[in-house]
Chain A
Amino acid sequence: GAVVSQHPSWVICKSGTSVKIECRSLDFQATTMFWYRQFPKQSLMLMATSNEGSKATYEQGVEKDKFLINHASLTLSTLTVTSAHPEDSSFYICSARAMGAAEAFFGQGTRLTVV
């Protein structure tokens, strides 16, 4: 299947700082990428849909000014957690779907710990 890569795999940051997570589709172009957050022992919660060349669409309750999404190319989307706080500590996962493909593929996830 297609490969979606996230970087970094894990990150620890201090409270109040910002963290950027990258999501790349390695062998296909993706006009749409999705960002999820997953807390321990819970399911994936969709945060936003990232569209190449346009603004992201955020799910209800997700602060767009705190979780900045940029999808500048057909192979890269970034999620920036601004002014991170301990409650933002979570597992962040992206997914991407190739144009014309039926299934979306997921990155390996990024574990963010805010101390």
Chain B
Amino acid sequence: DAKTTQPTSMDCAEGRAANLPCNHSTISGNEYVYWYRQIHSQGPQYIIHGLKNNETNEMASLIITEDRKSSTLILPHATLRDTAVYYCIVRPTTSGTYKYIFGTGTRLKVLA
């Protein structure tokens, strides 16, 4: 699986958009980008995934660059409850028994 690189930590003011970058420069053509987050002492929560088109759901938006070497997760209006560690994962295909390998993630702190 392609490796991902994320900043170790970020701060964001409550109510502002949180933009979390992820670098996956060695991504292959069939690999999807997934985002999960983990609030302290809980299991990870699925946020969103995409292949090459931008995606949006009720939680966030995912912007993937045209060359697919990087992506950005956008939380449009961050709240204190969005404070968590955010993981960007690259995984071949959406089906099958392929593993979800977690990197170090970005620790996002939303400030009041």
A1-50 at interface with B (beta carbon < 8 Å): 1, 4, 6, 31-32, 34, 36, 43-46, 49
In the assembled complex, which residues on chain A have CB atoms less than 8 Å from the CB atom of B36?
106
Instruction: Give complex CA distance A101, B94 in Å.
Output: 7
B46 near A46 with CB under 8 A, answer no
Asked if A108 is at the interface (CB within 8 A of a chain B CB), the reply is yes
Instruction: Give complex CA distance A104, B46 in Å.
Output: 7
Decide: A108 near B43, CB < 8 A? Known: A43-B104, A102-B49. Answer: yes
B44 near A93 with CB under 8 A, answer yes
Nearest-neighbor residue (CB-CB) of B87 within chain A: A43
B43 near A95 with CB under 8 A, answer yes
Asked if B10 is at the interface (CB within 8 A of a chain A CB), the reply is no
Asked if B101 is at the interface (CB within 8 A of a chain A CB), the reply is yes
CB distance from A79 to the nearest CB of B (A): 14
B49 near A44 with CB under 8 A, answer no
Nearest-neighbor residue (CB-CB) of B101 within chain A: A46
B44 near A34 with CB under 8 A, answer no
B45 near A103 with CB under 8 A, answer no
Nearest-neighbor residue (CB-CB) of A46 within chain B: B99
Instruction: Give complex CA distance A104, B47 in Å.
Output: 11
* Binary contact readout B20-48 vs A (1 if CB under 8 angstroms, 0 otherwise): 00000000000010101010011111100
Task: Name B105's contact: one of A43, A51, A91 (CB within 8 Å).
Answer: A43
B100 near A95 with CB under 8 A, answer yes
A1 near B41 with CB under 8 A, answer no
Nearest-neighbor residue (CB-CB) of A95 within chain B: B100
5 contacts between A and B (CB under 8 A): A4-B43, A43-B102, A51-B97, A108-B42, A109-B42
Other A-B pairs beyond A31-B97, A43-B104, A46-B100, 5, CB < 8 Å = A46-B99, A49-B97, A103-B49, A107-B43, A109-B41
